[in-house]
Structure 1
Amino acid sequence: MEQEIEKYFDRLWPICRSITGNGLRDSLNILRELVPLELHEVPSGTPVFDWHIPREWNIKDAYIITPDGRKIADFKSNNLHVLNYSIPVNKELSFEELSPHLFSLPDMPDAIPYLTSYYKETWGFCIRDKEKKALPTKGTYKAVIESSLTDGSLTYGDFLLEGDTEEEILFSTYLCHPSMANNELSGPLVTAYLYREVAALRNRRYTYRFVFVPETIGAIAYLSRNGSRMKEKTAAGYVVTCVGDHGEFTYKRSKAGNTLADRAAEHVLRSHKVKSRVIDFAIGGSDERQYCSPGFNLPVGSLMRTPYQQYSQYHTSLDDKSFISFAAMAESVGLYLEIVKTLELNRRYINTQPYGEPQLGKRGLYADLGGQRKRSDALTRRLHLLCFADGAHDLISIAEKMGLPATDFESTIAELTKAGLLKA
């Protein structure tokens, strides 16, 4: 899996993405090789709750020619050099006139910052601070941005992987940043490979909704079209982002804080003894803000590694391939899959012989030789599950009492169900 993820990463990396435009479409079409996404277009100007879809932005090139003839801030060498959503520019100007349109990070002199101006028409360039400080203050500069803002559309992709019921599990990720690794590409790639794993599961109870949207405006547009159904059907959901670095896992709870999504994720982290931390919901973050907004209050959390804004490379050119690990991304897929398996198994089971302890021996589920000083692990799980299978406890709570992963009970559930002692 690691090598496959890397190949797709390398194809997606050079593309200049934004919240609209051909870069976004091209990226979604590459991901359609992994997930059978249906692509949707929302026309510019469309009202989506309190917002309107902006005009579509596309870009071909951008650069600055210095007074001594050097080309700097070259978009083709690094697409972070242009202020994302810059209006077209082709003009000569002095350093004094150019300076308000130059952005850098004085505390990170070797990094190109990532900045946007989606909703105010302006233009600009992002450069390394050490380069900015070395620019001549005399002479004439030429600034060129070959971009366009037109009436077009915003594109998003989704796919509904059907299960036995209409209850849904949501996996949402964003695709709208240019060349950044952890904050941009780790989420869509982990989500895409998670889709493949979930699609391979047999007898899925839940229906799985996979959503690839531009951050914020895309999620709002998506909810404007799908929110009513999601409010009715969503049992649990997760925003997948920042899952590619070497950091320990972080789970950010839903706004409610005690939903099935939260319980499943925290149970997996605890029971598998994953080095991790759990944080409460806060407004800083990603599209969980939209899914958990007051009109929806969906049970949506987010399992990350190092969260956004908590690593120095965040929103800079230093968030590149050298910062991430494809092994870490594969591990993230595996942990999300464990959450899926936990959700699939989690039910309020009923012991069909609740009066006293069932006679397991006659069903071949108890050792022939009684009185042994220690029960087998398998027998302990059988007796534990039957004792708490009273309709009041779900599997997560039952497993928690033994300090075991819920998935450790899969074979126990199967054998007790086959013996007629357990039903969901």
Structure 2
Amino acid sequence: MNAEGNFVGFPGLTMPGEKNSQSMWSMMEALFPIYRSLLGPGYKDSLDVIDKYLPLEVTEFPSGQEVFDWTIPKEFKVNEAWVEGPDGTRVLDFDIHPYCVWIYSQSFSGEMDLDELKEKIATDPNLPHAYPMRQTYYREAWGLSAPYDLVEELKPGRYKVHIDTDLYDGVLRIGEAYLPGEVEEEILINSYLCHPRGANDNLSGVVAAVEIFRMLAEMPDRHYSYRLALWPEGIGVIAYMANYPERLAKTIGGYQLGICGDGAPVSLDQTFAGDTIFDRAVKHAMEFCGREVVTRKFNIYGGADVLHLNSVGYRLAVANITRGGSRPGGYAEYHSSADDLELVRPEYLLESLQVAWAALMTVERTRRYKGTYQVTPFLSKYGVFPYQHGWGTGGQGTVIGNAYYAMMGEADGSKDLLQIAEDNDMPIFAFDECVREFSRVGLLEEVEQP
């Protein structure tokens, strides 16, 4: 890490930097004002914004379609919502903050006393100045939210409540991008795009996922194929899994990026198995940046869409790279109007991107090799002795030079490259040159993973 706490990089790996940070922040600022829900016009508008940064293919699934045990809901739109006090002053107004009405709230118009009104208003005494975010996706109800302090100051009397919403048949939209690789096996990068004004949860994850895909697109060579999917939380991934069994058959795992911009440590929500290459790669990336990664075992109560991807019948090796989302109860501003652009810090967002990038590049390199030689090969004969890295000169060899020797001694096909790197206490990226050179002169051959 450098003085600012960001990665300084690994041998052979170019890390995301200020340009990527600026791109993500520009996306955040463009997306934040848009009112989104599971299905609705704001979701489409958000995908249109992202399409300016990364071309997307938008797939649509109709309301009413059955996907496993679930049914895709209707689209949701708020026309207006407000509450007027006894003196005619509006004490709540959707135009002031959209969280004042529950997401997917039914319409309602009527009058009621203050005590009755309070029963319909969600508040959070722990965040007395913030609107809680509440939703009623799968049950018919109406409801309001307000800052605790505001509700405590309301005067007795009659209040007018007016909620005008539309729930209508429409489509669930998923924004996708695909990058082919040397093999058809796919790595999935996903995030959820549905909270109306959640900067950390989860625009931070969305912009990090988009930016990492932009970086993948710039790679001249990719071993694996990659797919990006931006969907509404829960029902989006379920619809994807129900409609694309052939894709899932080719998906070896991946990463969800969610809640990536707050000040909590970068964390790993593990896959169901807990020891897949996708789990190991995050831990490896964090170890060699000088930080111990915070891990949490697979938990059915958290992790958003990794729950479904790792579910019974699938067990896809998709892990979650997150920050405050891994802590019990989330972070203090979770699901509230306090989760705004003031909460997310560009340097934390960049660090999350750097962890995800280093982990993905670790996965790219984690293959299995077997030497074609018997006994220690005479490297000078092949023109690949690491003189340029300090070996054979009587001085101290560099880590890249050391990788030549580690690879030469361990490449019998029994370990993947990540295991060899870890057993020698070296970053996997230090092996790039020796793998390339040994393969070029015929000293190494790639073998299938067991």
Aligned-residue offset at 1:241: 0.1
For each residue in 1:23-77, what CA deviation from the matched residue of structure 2 results, as whole angstroms up to 9, or x when unmatched? 1111111111222221122111111100111121111221111112221222112
1:350–1:101 CA distance, 2 compared to 1 (3 A): same
8 Å CA contact 2:105, 2:136 repeated in 1: yes
8 Å CA contact 2:400, 2:433 repeated in 1: no
Q: Does 1:8 align with 2:30?
A: no
Aligned-residue offset at 1:96: 3.5
1:127 and 1:296 map into 2 onto residues whose CA distance is: 40
Match of 1:406 in 2: 428
Give the ranges of 4+ consecutive aligned residues of structure 1 lying more than 6 Å apart after TM superposition. none
Residue 352 of structure 1, aligned match among 372, 377, 390: 372
Q: Does 1:224 align with 2:242?
A: yes
Match of 2:409 in 1: 387
Aligned-residue offset at 1:310: 2.6
Match of 1:190 in 2: 208
Identity of aligned residues (%): 33
Aligned-residue offset at 1:419: 2.5
Q: What are structure 2's unaligned runs of at least 5 residues?
A: 1-19
Residue 112 of structure 1, aligned match among 121, 124, 131: 131
Q: Does 1:261 align with 2:283?
A: no
What is the letter of the counterpart of residue 170 of structure 2? G
Aligned-residue offset at 1:260: 1.6
For each residue in 1:173-209, what CA deviation from the matched residue of structure 2 results, as whole angstroms up to 9, or x when unmatched? 0011111111121011000111111111121011101
2:334 and 2:232 map into 1 onto residues whose CA distance is: 18
1:266 and 1:239 map into 2 onto residues whose CA distance is: 16
8 Å CA contact 2:118, 2:151 repeated in 1: no
Residue 136 of structure 1, aligned match among 138, 155, 175: 155
Q: Does 1:70 align with 2:89?
A: yes
Q: Does 1:59 align with 2:78?
A: yes
1:347–1:103 CA distance, 2 compared to 1 (3 A): same
1:367 and 1:111 map into 2 onto residues whose CA distance is: 61
2:386 and 2:68 map into 1 onto residues whose CA distance is: 63
**Number of aligned positions between the proteins:** 421
What is the letter of the counterpart of residue 356 of structure 1? V
1:224 and 1:72 map into 2 onto residues whose CA distance is: 44
1:370 and 1:206 map into 2 onto residues whose CA distance is: 37
Q: Does 1:322 align with 2:342?
A: yes
What is the letter of the counterpart of residue 81 of structure 1? C
Residue 214 of structure 1, aligned match among 229, 232, 244: 232
Q: TM-score, normalised by structure 2?
A: 0.90
Helix, strand or coil for the counterpart of 1:321? coil
Match of 1:160 in 2: 178
Helix, strand or coil for the counterpart of 1:201? coil
For each residue in 1:234-276, what CA deviation from the matched residue of structure 2 results, as whole angstroms up to 9, or x when unmatched? 2221111011112211111100111121121222122322343
2:172 and 2:397 map into 1 onto residues whose CA distance is: 60
Match of 1:415 in 2: 437
Q: Does 1:287 align with 2:309?
A: no
Helix, strand or coil for the counterpart of 1:391? strand
Match of 1:50 in 2: 69
Helix, strand or coil for the counterpart of 1:322? coil
Q: Which moved more, 1:215-224 or 1:411-420?
A: 411-420
Q: Does 1:244 align with 2:261?
A: yes
1:135 and 1:24 map into 2 onto residues whose CA distance is: 34
1:22 and 1:378 map into 2 onto residues whose CA distance is: 52
Matches within 5 A, 1:118-129: 118-129=137-148
1:33–1:10 CA distance, 2 compared to 1 (3 A): same
Q: TM-score, normalised by structure 1?
A: 0.95
